[in-house]
Amino acid sequence: MNIADWLPSLHYEAQKRAYISRLVVLEQSASLLKARMYIATDLFVQVYRNDRFDTTNLVLMYNEQRIYARDQLGGAWHRHTTDDPQAHDASVTGRRPVSLTEFLDEVEDLLAALELP
């Protein structure tokens, strides 16, 4: 998915999911997009896409810390689990590509499990 596809998807998901209070596009160009989907002041999903380098970062941030993420670098995916958000999980599950919708579904499950708003 490229930048042209990401922005409409962000708006759609932000409107569809009641727990997302606002969407803020921090940076946008022909090849780059950086946005935040706020759940609370200190809890948000950050989305970064760079078409030029084929990089995608989907991150759940809480109190300025990454607590979960899925990253794609040069076509290869990995994830950062809640158990060890600094480590790269390159298991079969960790390497599985995910869409924005799938990532937000994972975030919903994590929010419930961690009892976060």
Q: What does the pLDDT look like over 33-65, one tens digit per residue?
A: 999 999 999 999 999 999 999 999 999 999 999
Is the pLDDT reported for residue 115 higher than 90? Answer: yes
**Tokens standing for residue 79:** 């994830």
Average pLDDT of the chain? 95
**Tokens standing for residue 104:** 């937000």
Taking the whole predicted model, whether its pTM rises above 0.85 is answered as yes
Residue 70: domain span = 3-113
Lowest average pLDDT, out of 4-8, 94-98, 110-114, goes to: 4-8
* The total number of structural domains that make up the chain: 1
Burial of 78 (C-beta count, 10 Å sphere; 0-12/13-18/19+): middle
Which residues contact residue 103 at a Cβ distance below 8 angstroms, ignoring those fewer than 6 apart? 45, 58, 70
pLDDT tens digits, one per residue of 68-82: 999 999 889 999 999
Is the pLDDT reported for residue 110 higher than 90? Answer: yes
| Contact between residue 68 and residue 84 where contact means Cβ atoms under 8 Å apart | no
Is the pLDDT reported for residue 2 higher than 90? Answer: no
